[in-house]
Amino acid sequence: MGKYVIKRLLLALLILVGVSVLIYMLVMLMPADYIDTQTAAALANGSMTQEDVMRLKELYGLADKSFLGIMKSYGNWLTSALRGDLGFSFMFGRPVSEVIGNYMWLSFGIALVSFILQTVISIPLGIKAAVKQYSKYDYSVSVFAMIGTALPSFFLSALLMNVFSIKLRWFPLQGLTTATRIFGENENFALLADKLWHLVLPITVLTMLSVGGLMRYTRTNMLEVMGSDYIRTARAKGLSERKVIYSHAFRNTLIPLVTTLSGLLPSLFGGAMITETVFALPGIGYMALRATRGGDIPFVMGYNMFLAILTVLGMLLSDLSYTVVDPRVKLR
C-alpha cells in the first residue's frame, strides 16, 4: 500500500507539471490580457498611448508572448509556486491563495449540501428502478432523470428564478443577502437564516442536475449485478429480497459508484461557475469566471492548479477506497 501511494504521488507530480505548462501557455496566448482589458478605454480616448500600455505589460510580465518568453515567465511562476506563493491577483489586488481561501467555502457549502441530497435521492431511486425494471415506476424515474440531465444549468436556473422568485416571490432572486435589510451585531442568526434562504434555489439547481446521472449509473450497475449467479444462489437459499438487494447486490455495485466519487473533491471546492454567476453568488466559481474574462493570469493559474491538485487527490482516494468496499482488491 505504501509503495503504491508513493508511486501515485510521484506520478501526480509529473501530471501536475504537465498540466501547469499547458494551462500557462493557453492563458498567456489568450487574445487579450489584463492590461489590454483595463486600458482599452484609455487607448480609445487617447489618454494613454501604446507605449504606455507596453510599459505596463513589462511591469506585469506580459510583454513577451514568444515561446521563450512564455517559458521564462512560466519558470518564474513555477519557482514561486514551489515556495507556496501563487502570485498576486491583478483583478482582486490580493494574493491568489488568499482569494481562493476566502471564496471557496461558500462554494464548498453549496456543493456539499447538493452532494448529500443527490446521494440520498439518487441511489434509492436507482436501486428501486433496477428492482422494478420496465415498470411504470422505472420509466417515470428514467424520464425525469433524463430531463434533469439534459437541462442546461443556466436554463434551469432562469426557470426556477422566474417561477419561484419573480412570480411566486417565495425566494430571493439573486445575491447572498437581502440588499434592503441591514443586520445588526446581535442578528447573527437572522443573517445566517437569510443567507440560507438565498441558497435554496442554487442548491436545488445543482441537485436536480446531478440526480439523473447518478441514478442512471446506480440503476445500470444494479441491473448488471442482479443477473449474476450469486444473486440467484442467494435467492435459492431463501434469503429475503431486501437482504439479497442491499447486502449482496448493492454492496457489489459500490466499486463503480466509488469511481464516480473521484471527481468529488474538485466539484466540492471548485464551485459551480454558471450557477453562481446566474444567482450572483460570491463563490470561487463566479470569481474564476470574472478573472478569466479579465485576463487575471495569476488567479487563473492558481485556481486551475488548485483544481488539478484536488482532482489528482480525488483519484488517489478513489483507488484507496476500492480496498475498503472490496477486500479482494489489492493495490501494488
pTM for the whole thing?
Answer: 0.84
pLDDT at 4: 77
Query: What CA–CA distance (Å, rounded) separates 262 from 311?
Result: 7
Q: What is the CATH number of the domain that holds 125?
A: 1.10.3720.10
CA distances from 285 to 18, 106, 266, 282, 323 (A): 23, 10, 11, 8, 33
Beta bridge mates, 95: 88
Q: Report pLDDT for 262.
A: 66
Could you tell me if residue 95 is inside a domain? no
Give a yes or no: residue 244 inside a domain: yes
Helix (H, G, I), strand (E, B) or coil at 109: helix
Given a cut of 90, whether residue 162 has pLDDT beyond it is yes
Specify which residues 178 forms β-bridges with. none
Identity at 15, one-letter amino acid code: I
Reported as a pLDDT band with limits 50, 70 and 90, residue 46 is: confident
Angstrom distance (rounded) from CA 315 to CA 310? 9
Is 253 a domain residue?
yes
Q: Is residue 38 part of a domain?
A: no
* pLDDT for position 325: 66
What is the share, in percent, of the chain residues with pLDDT greater than 70?
Answer: 95
Q: What is the pLDDT of residue 163?
A: 92
Residue 191 forms part of a structural domain: yes
Percent of residues in the chain assigned helix, strand, coil, to nearest 5: 75, 0, 25
What are the cell numbers at 17? 507539471
Q: 203 versus 38: which is more confidently predicted?
A: 203
Answer whether residue 324 shows pLDDT above 80: no
Number of domain units in the chain: 1
Which residues does 219 contact at the CB level (< 8 Å), separation at least 6? 126, 127, 129, 130, 138, 142
Give the range of the structural domain holding residue 252, as residue numbers without chain letter.
104-295
Most confident region among 57-61, 156-160, 188-192 by mean pLDDT: 156-160
Lowest mean pLDDT among 28-42, 117-131, 223-237: 28-42
User: Is the residue at 77 inside a domain?
Assistant: no
Amino acid at the residue 1:
M
- Say if 232 falls within a structural domain: yes
Per-residue pLDDT tens digits for 58-105: 877 777 778 888 888 888 888 888 888 888 888 888 899 999 989 989
Confidence of residue 201 (pLDDT cuts 50, 70, 90): very high
76 in any annotated domain: no
